[in-house]
Structure 1
């Protein structure tokens, strides 16, 4: 029971962090890359994240296939949201002076 709750907490935190990081990366760094604007880009990014997560399933005992799927969904939706931000003309997020 504790392991399941810990696994759910890890997957939830990972999803929130990956979504925000991916969206900010696409919006700031990939602003002028045309491939990001294609409809296939979120699917490819999510698939790559799932492959990396599926490797982690064998290494870490608390990371399951559900966590890998959650990470893939978060990365794919982060790429889609970042590309939508670029199309809508939302300014890049800038931190610091």
Structure 2
């Protein structure tokens, strides 16, 4: 039972983080050149993993697997957002 709850938390977290990161890169970081470099997804994913690894001892239902999943989701979101910008599939953003 504990495993299923942890797996559900990690899955939902990965889906939300990937979508949020992809949208943020596509809409807010369009004109930032360093996002287009190959190291950006690795750096963002590594930072997310380190942040999650620091929080693991304080959260009862998550472990290092959840932190690793979060890092992979953020890294893939940055890569997908940068790919959207390169392909020109980025939507027009109105407002701030």
- TM-score under structure 2 length normalisation: 0.94
Q: Per-residue CA shift, 1:16-74, capped at 9, x if unaligned?
A: 00000000000000000000000000000000000110011111011100000000000
Instruction: Give the whole-Å Cα distance in 2 for the aligned partners of 1:65 and 1:77.
Output: 18
- 1:17-32 matches, cutoff 5 A: 17-32=16-31
Equivalent residue number for residue 61 of structure 2? 62
- Whole-Å separation in 2 of the counterparts to 1:56 and 1:62: 11
Return closer, same or farther for 1:56/1:68 CA change in 2, 3 Å cut-off.
same
Gap runs ≥5 in structure 2: none
CA contact (8 A) 1:24 1:93 kept: no
| 1:82 counterpart SS class | helix
Unaligned runs of 5+ residues in structure 1 are none
Alignment length (residue pairs): 95
Aligned to 2:72: 73
- Give the aligned CA root-mean-square deviation in angstroms: 1.5
Q: Spell out the pairing of 1:1-97 with structure 2 (5 A cutoff).
A: 2-92=1-91, 94=93
Normalised by the length of structure 1, the TM-score is 0.93
